[in-house]
Amino acid sequence: MKRYLLLATMLTSLAGCGGTNDEQITTVHVSHYREQTFIAPGGYVLWPTGTDDAGNSQPVPHFDHHWGHQYVIRIGKTPVDHPAADAPNYNLRLVSIDSDVVVPATTEFVLTAYPFTTPLFSVTGAGGTLMDGTPFVCSDEQTCADLSAAQTALTSPNALAITFGYSAGTQLPLVVKSFQTKSTGS
């Protein structure tokens, strides 16, 4: 009887994982905004992604992030024995979306621009786009012009902290609320 109970427990555990023996299931809390991170010439990482020990990243397949939504998701991560050069050493899969909550319309958040070769955003008139194409607006053209000039003048060890909010509830475009240059150390 004990053998059958042990076997049933093991089978239930494996069935609950929904994957192979090598797959690790992880719960991830996904923010309502997307960090804009430059990783390689021509490539950007937008959360949610997984990052392996070598710094390789990939998006979670079949997961569409929407600005203004906080998620709790479960992902499966399976190692790849012999990945191609510069390829992740694991595969990801979306196991489930356990929670999808819209944040309050008054929510604000900060994105930080660093003095790298690729700008965090581009400005046209009284608006612009983040590096992933997400639109934003400024209160007026002068605010956007000042923001663009601040990014152009940015030098190490400084960073540009930009506070954004949502325009209509949690809809796009984002709205630039304020920005300031901050020292990030030496």
The residue extents of the domains of the chain are 22-102, 108-183
Give alpha helix (H) positions in 25-160: 141-152
Task: Using alpha carbons, select from 39, 32, 82, 41 the residue that is nearest to residue 59.
Answer: 39
What span, in angstroms and rounded, lies between the C-alpha atoms of 32 and 68? Answer: 5
Which tens digit of pLDDT belongs to each residue from 37-73? 543 333 333 444 444 444 445 677 888 888 888 888 8
Which tens digit of pLDDT belongs to each residue from 97-138? 999 999 898 899 888 888 765 678 889 888 999 887 889 999
